[in-house]
Amino acid sequence: MTTTVRLAADKDSGVAVVTLDRPDRLNAIDLTMRDELRQAWRELRFDDSVRAVVLTGAGERAFCTGLDRDAVVPQPSSPYMADDPLLRVGPKSNDLWKPVIAAVTGMACGGAFYLLGESDFLVADPTAAFFDPHTTYGMVSAYESVLLAQRMPYGEVARMMLMGTAERISAERAHAIGLVSELTAPGEALAAATECAAVLAGYPPEGVQGTVRALWAVREGAVAAGFAQAPHLVALGNLPGERQSELFAKRHKGFRTR
């Protein structure tokens, strides 16, 4: 059986590393990876030897490029019900209140923000680049926008989400606006995130987890309100899948990095 998520726990340090492991697909999330991520977060809830978590992607090209375009997501026929395949893919939505630090190398875009939006802070390699392709392909960026609006100044997140594939935010810019907490030397993001996680794992877990929960409490009201609107906005604004595929096939591959 192919595994798309690797979970490695170091009992001595108390740190677990969760690795998205589809580098040949730029760590895009298919339905198997979605299910394995949810299982990993649930396992970590019950493993008291793990007190802090690092989330990263395999390879150097991408942290994660969102939902795999080949994923087939069945939908109810009712206009009042819609299934978002990534809605429960992050740690907080799986009731995990151990700190999660994301180590980002390469591209992070689209559905990757479900994961980054529920991480407690981000550490980035200089190759990290952030963008959201939704508008380019005739889709509404709803859930991603709601999550990123809690992490970035409004003008910055609005520009990123609206500009689609025409622009990417560099690691340096992401650090300057607060999306990234630490910009490391090349190849050092995972090590730096793991070092931070080891510090947190060395503290009494009750205080750390309570702080994680308190910090999320500040944001979850706004997230819930935004998410309540998201299904309707997606239903109203998304082009049919065939038209999205046409736009994807004709996409302009040039972009500006800022």
- What's at 142, amino acid-wise? A
pLDDT tens digits, 95-147: 999 999 999 999 999 999 999 999 999 999 999 999 999 999 999 999 999 99
Q: Is residue 251 part of a domain?
A: no
Q: Is residue 211 part of a domain?
A: no
pLDDT tens digits, 69-80: 888 877 778 777
Q: Is residue 134 part of a domain?
A: yes
Pick from 87, 134, 127, 90: nearest CA to 110: 134
pLDDT tens digits, 156-180: 999 999 999 999 999 999 999 999 9
Domain count, the chain: 1
The confidence score (pLDDT) of residue 1 equals: 57
Neighbouring-strand partners of residue 101: 54, 121
Q: Is residue 89 part of a domain?
A: yes
2 pLDDT more than 80: no
Q: Is residue 114 part of a domain?
A: yes
The confidence score (pLDDT) of residue 214 equals: 98
The confidence score (pLDDT) of residue 14 equals: 98
- What's at 9, amino acid-wise? A
Q: Is residue 16 part of a domain?
A: yes
The answer to whether 51 and 85 are in contact (CB under 8 A) is: no
Q: Domain of 166? A: 5-190
Q: Is residue 74 part of a domain?
A: yes
42 pLDDT more than 60: yes
Q: Is residue 215 part of a domain?
A: no
CATH number at residue 170: 3.90.226.10
pLDDT tens digits, 213-230: 999 999 999 999 999 999
pLDDT tens digits, 22-33: 999 999 999 999
86 pLDDT more than 90: yes
Pick from 95, 36, 29, 39: nearest CA to 64: 29
